[in-house]
Amino acid sequence: MSAAQAPRIAYVNGRYLPLAEATLPIMDRGFLFGDGIYEVTAVLGDRFIDNEPHLARLDRSLKAIGIRNPHTLDEWTEIQRELVKRNGLTQGIVYIEVTRGTYEREFTCPEDIAPNVVMFTQVKNILANPATEKGVAVITVNDLRWARRDIKSVALLAQVLAKFEAKRAGVAEAVMLEEGVVTEGASSTVFIVSSAGVLVTRALSTSVLPGVTRSSVMRLARETGLHVEERPFTRQEMLAAREVFYTSASSFVMPVVEVDGEKIADGRPGPITKKLRTIYLDEAQRG
C-alpha cells in the first residue's frame, strides 16, 4: 500500500490500529460521563512542541480527578513518537485522552479499574496558517463552564456550543466572559496589549486552564523586555486594547483583529503579537 493510501493509525490501550478498528466499549466512562482528561501537543517535523509541560499537565489533570497515570513520561513520549512515525506526520497535533475506564453505567465505580488510553494524530497546517497574516475575528460569549477549568477535562460541551456560535458568526474563536470579564478562549488563552503597552492575561486559578503556550509566551515576552501583568481584564478593555491575540498548542500565537464586529486598533495584527509569534516559532523549531 502506498503512503497516500495508508490508513490513519490510532493507539488504543497498547495497540496501534487502523482508525476504523480503534474502538472502545460503549460503557467507557469518557463516553458516558465525560469522565476523563486530554492533552494536545503540536508536532513540527521531529519536534514535539512544549511536550514536557503538556505531559506534566496531563499528570496533574489525572491526579485532580483521581485517575492513576498509566504511563511514565518516557512511555508517553515513546508512544507519541511511534504514533507520529506510523502516520508519517510532519505537521499537526498528537492527541491523548485518558478516561477512568470501562464499567457498568453507574456514577461511581471501583477506584482501581484500568484507565482507557486513546491517542491519534491530526494533520494541521499550523506553521504557515494563512489566518496569522491577516489576523482573525472573534466573538464574545458567556462562559457556561464548570468551576474547575484548570483541569483539562474532556467534558467540553460549553466549549462546543461556544465554537458553534463562533462558526455561525463566521469567526475563528469564541472569547468567554464572566460578568463582562474575559476568562479565556473556548480552546485558547487570551492576551491583550493594553493601551499602556503592557501585555496582560488572566492569572492562573481554577477559572482558567493553565495554558502551556501561555507560559512559554509569557517567558519569551519578559525576556524581550515587555512588561507582563497577570490580572483580569474586561471586554471593554479588550476592545480598547492596542493588540489582542490568543495562544494554544494548535494555533501558537494568533492575532485577533476584530471582536464582536469591532476592529481592534487599525484592524491589523500588531507588532508585539507578530514578534511573539516569530520568537515562539523560532524557539519551537530550534528547541
Tell me which residues touch ligand PDD (CB under 6 A).
40, 184, 187-189, 209, 211-214, 247-250
Question: What is the closest distance, in whole angstroms, from the C-beta atom of residue 233 to ligand PDD in the complex?
Answer: 16
**Which CB atom, from 129 or from 265, has the smaller least distance to ligand PDD?**
129
The residue to which cell 523549531 is assigned: 285
Distance, CA of 18 to CA of 21 (rounded, Å):
5
For cell 497574516, name the residue: 133
CB of 210 to ligand PDD, least distance (A): 8
Which helix (H) or strand (E) segment is 53 a member of? helix 51-64
Instruction: Judge residue 152's burial from the number of C-beta atoms within 10 Å of its C-beta, 0-12 exposed, 13-18 middle, 19 or more buried.
Output: buried
Tell the smallest beta-carbon distance from residue 190 to ligand PDD (Å).
9
Give the CA angle between residues 159, 11, 20 to the nearest 5°.
80
At closest approach, how far in Å is the CB of 191 from ligand PDD? 11
Least Cβ distance, residue 2 to ligand PDD (angstroms): 30
Per the CB < 8 A criterion, the answer to whether 38 and 97 are in contact is: yes
> Which is closer to ligand PDD, CB of 28 or CB of 184?
184
Burial tier of 235 (Cβ tally within 10 Å: 0-12, 13-18, 19+)? middle
**Grid coordinates in use for 263?**
476592529
What are the two backbone dihedrals, phi and then psi, of residue 268, each rounded to the nearest 5 degrees? -125, 155
Q: Please, are residues 247 and 191 in contact by the beta-carbon 8 Å criterion?
A: yes
Give least dist CB 188 to ligand PDD, A.
5
Whether residue 134 lies in the annotated active site:
no
Q: Which is nearer to ligand PDD, 9 or 49 (CB)?
A: 49
Task: Fill in the amino acid letter for 142.
Answer: N
Of 108, 92, 86, the closest CA to residue 33 belongs to 108
Q: Which of 63, 134, 152, 163 is catalytic?
A: 152
Q: Which of residues 8 and 57 has its CB atom nearest to ligand PDD in the complex? A: 57
Terminal Cα distance for the chain, rounded: 35
Residue with Cβ nearer ligand PDD (113 or 283): 283
Paired strand residues for 139? 174
CB-closest chain residue to ligand PDD: 213
Q: Are 267 and 255 in contact (CB under 8 A)?
A: no
| Enzyme catalytic residues | 152
